[in-house]
């Protein structure tokens, strides 16, 4: 920026002797004489041709410097924005599960995609504003060297115009906040529509989604239009004010200060360049203010994530279960709910046994699973492995030791192979095939591309039962110390459920298993059954005892 401004300032100063040689209006005093002396000292002849060649050289040099400067600034902006996006996403991945489930995914996605991009736009305008300021200062220095009186008048009058037009700073910040809210609403409407598109088609409620989306888009559009109009209005005011000031400078220069024509023409050229630079500075400043709420939202997210962050550990290692898992006086409550999700729960899971947990919807089964696998930290009580309390600093190690298969399976839009490798990145083909067989997922070999078949968004190209079997195979690839199946067989037919039951029974004695569900075939061979009701243990015993 400094190099580009210097070359531009020197080039502008050369206009004085160029115009003087063309017009024959030589001056023995003042800034023109200083310029002549400087040119003579560096060995340049006082000819029009030599001066034009030097001027052209400076223009080319400045253009090359500007090209490199713009590349540097663009690279810097993108690197900082990408780093900020990665930092925010890493913070979300490291935050406590309870904080995540209490927040809205669409707001986080909007922040990562839209707000961080707005910060990039604000940063780009911030860099542009610095360029404009440096260039303006260079022009003002050149003007002071030619006529300090005219330069002083220009600086004062231009500053007043800038200050008067810049009184909309607060309104610009408010517009930025309103746009942030509108973007969050729009992102939520789009995400809900995409997530519920199957239900929408079944219920025939497409118009309802379209209406909600139209309202959200209209709000965001109005906020953008309002800011664009505000920007256009200030640009118009600057153009009118700049033209008025330029005419005034010309009048004062000729009438009161009697500045020689070469110097006056150069001054008018300088002031004509300063006016759009000041206008650009003002608009770039407003763009920065407009992006400021997005930066504050991002900073607020990072602060919240840091407060709710889990302890970091240097290395991950599996925790083995030799005696068993015990839960002692576990209680968990959520804001806005009158009853606790878990109320003073105490139970144990002996090593290498199978435990079934049953209960009606809302009884606390999934919350209990989240506690056991280390996702949720209880408000009261603790979880122990072989008598040792699982503290926060080893929660990541414990989660690495647990495999979980939920009722609602998530698969990436990728091949079956790559989805399985999320369970164990180093798994060989034999290990992949063995896991598929254990999970009763032999259907994979019948697919056109076999294990390299693309499953679609969230596995949409597979049936519910097929997705669950792929998820079970992925879980088994982890070689976990504990396997939790949360209604994982609910979508399977009796034949495939029997296969999975056989697979689970084959693990008996080698792996600790917890099954959450209600299907008799899966639960009747459990070593112990726990029935939950309203966050409390209602019954405990064998399946024969519980089903009576």
In a domain? residue 463 = yes
In a domain? residue 416 = yes
> Nearest Cα to 438, choosing from 388, 503, 391, 394?
503
**Residues 176 and 301 placed together within one structural domain of the fold:** yes
CA–CA dist 225, 503 (Å, integer)? 61
- Please give the distance of CA 23 from its chain centroid, rounded to a whole number: 60
CA–CA dist 548, 543 (Å, integer)? 9
**Residues 201 and 286 placed together within one structural domain of the fold:** yes
Q: Number of C-alpha atoms within 13 angstroms, CB side, residue 536?
A: 5
**Residues 421 and 293 placed together within one structural domain of the fold:** no
In a domain? residue 221 = yes
Backbone angles phi, psi at 245, to 5 degrees: -65, -40
533: confidence class by pLDDT, cuts 50, 70, 90: confident
**Residues 107 and 232 placed together within one structural domain of the fold:** yes
In a domain? residue 286 = yes
In a domain? residue 252 = yes
Interacting residues of 259 by C-beta distance below 8 A, sequence separation 6+: 147, 150, 253, 267
Backbone angles phi, psi at 365, to 5 degrees: -65, -50
Cα angle vertex 73, ends 279, 118, to 5°? 70
pLDDT one-digit tens code per residue, 198-244? 667 776 778 887 888 888 888 888 888 888 888 788 778 877 887 88
The CATH code of the domain that includes 359 is 3.40.50.300
**Residues 134 and 231 placed together within one structural domain of the fold:** yes
The CATH code of the domain that includes 159 is 1.20.1560.10
pLDDT one-digit tens code per residue, 281-322? 888 888 888 888 889 989 998 898 888 887 776 667 788 888
pLDDT one-digit tens code per residue, 319-369? 888 899 999 999 998 877 778 889 899 999 999 888 988 888 888 888 888
**Residues 297 and 401 placed together within one structural domain of the fold:** no
**Residues 151 and 249 placed together within one structural domain of the fold:** yes
Residue 475 contacts residue 423 (beta carbons within 8 Å): yes
In a domain? residue 27 = no
The tally of domains found in the chain comes to 2
DSSP one-letter code for 396: H
In a domain? residue 29 = no
**Residues 247 and 356 placed together within one structural domain of the fold:** no
Give the pTM.
0.72
> Nearest Cα to 213, choosing from 186, 192, 191, 194?
186
Lowest mean pLDDT, pick from 230-244, 485-499, 531-545 = 485-499
In a domain? residue 8 = no
Range of the domain at 421: 352-376+393-546
């Amino acid at each position: 920026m400094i190099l580009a401004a210097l070359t531009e300032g020197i080039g502008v100063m050369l206009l004085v002797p160029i115009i003087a040689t063309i017009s024959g209006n030589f001056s023995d005093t003042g800034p023109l004489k200083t310029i002549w002396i400087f040119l003579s000292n560096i060995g340049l002849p006082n000819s029009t041709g030599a001066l034009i060649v030097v001027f052209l050289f400076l223009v080319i040099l400045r253009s090359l410097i500007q090209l490199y400067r713009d590349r540097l600034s663009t690279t810097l902006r993108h690197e900082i924005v990408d780093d900020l996006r990665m930092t925010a996403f890493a913070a979300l991945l490291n935050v406590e599960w309870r904080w995540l489930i209490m927040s809205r995914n669409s707001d986080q996605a909007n922040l990562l995609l839209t707000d961080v991009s707005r910060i990039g736009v604000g940063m780009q305008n911030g860099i542009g504003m610095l360029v404009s300021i440096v260039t303006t200062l260079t022009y003002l220095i050149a003007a002071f060297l030619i006529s300090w009186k005219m330069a002083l008048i220009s600086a004062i009058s231009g500053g007043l115009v800038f200050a008067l037009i810049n009184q909309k700073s607060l309104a610009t910040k408010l517009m930025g906040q309103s746009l942030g809210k509108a973007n969050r609403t729009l992102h939520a409407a789009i995400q809900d529509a995409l997530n519920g598109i199957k239900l929408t088609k079944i219920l025939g409620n497409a118009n309802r989604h379209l209406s909600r989306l139209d309202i959200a888009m209209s709000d965001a559009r109005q906020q953008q239009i309002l800011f664009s109009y505000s920007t256009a209005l200030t640009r118009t005011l600057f153009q009118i004010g700049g033209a008025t000031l330029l005419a005034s400078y010309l009048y004062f220069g000729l009438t009161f200060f009697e500045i020689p024509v070469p110097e006056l023409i150069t001054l008018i050229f300088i002031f004509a360049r300063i006016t759009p630079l000041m206008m650009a500075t003002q608009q770039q400043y407003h763009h920065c203010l407009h992006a400021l709420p997005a930066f504050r939202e991002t900073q607020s997210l990072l602060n919240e994530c840091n407060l709710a962050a889990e302890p970091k550990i240097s290395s991950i290692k599996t925790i083995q279960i030799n005696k068993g898992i015990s839960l002692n006086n576990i209680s968990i409550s959520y804001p806005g709910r009158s009853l606790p999700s878990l109320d003073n729960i105490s139970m144990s899971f002996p090593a290498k046994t199978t435990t079934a947990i049953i209960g009606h919807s809302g009884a606390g089964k999934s919350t209990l699973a989240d506690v056991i696998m280390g996702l949720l930290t209880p408000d009261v009580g603790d979880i122990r492995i072989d008598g040792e309390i699982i503290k926060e600093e080893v929660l990541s190690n414990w989660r690495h030791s647990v495999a979980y298969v939920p009722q609602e399976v998530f698969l990436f839009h990728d091949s079956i192979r790559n989805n399985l490798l999320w369970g164990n990145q180093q798994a060989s083909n034999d290990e992949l095939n063995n896991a598929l067989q254990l999970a009763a997922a032999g259907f994979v070999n019948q697919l056109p591309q076999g294990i390299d078949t693309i499953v679609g968004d969230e596995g949409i190209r597979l049936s519910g039962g097929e997705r669950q079997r792929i998820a079970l195979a992925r879980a088994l690839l982890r070689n976990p110390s504990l396997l939790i199946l949360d209604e994982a067989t609910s979508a399977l037919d009796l034949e495939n459920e029997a296969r999975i039951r056989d697979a689970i029974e084959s693990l008996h004695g080698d792996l600790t298993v917890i099954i959450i569900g209600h299907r008799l075939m899966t639960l009747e061979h459990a070593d112990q059954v726990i029935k939950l009701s309203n966050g409390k243990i209602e019954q405990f015993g064998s399946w024969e005892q519980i089903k009576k």
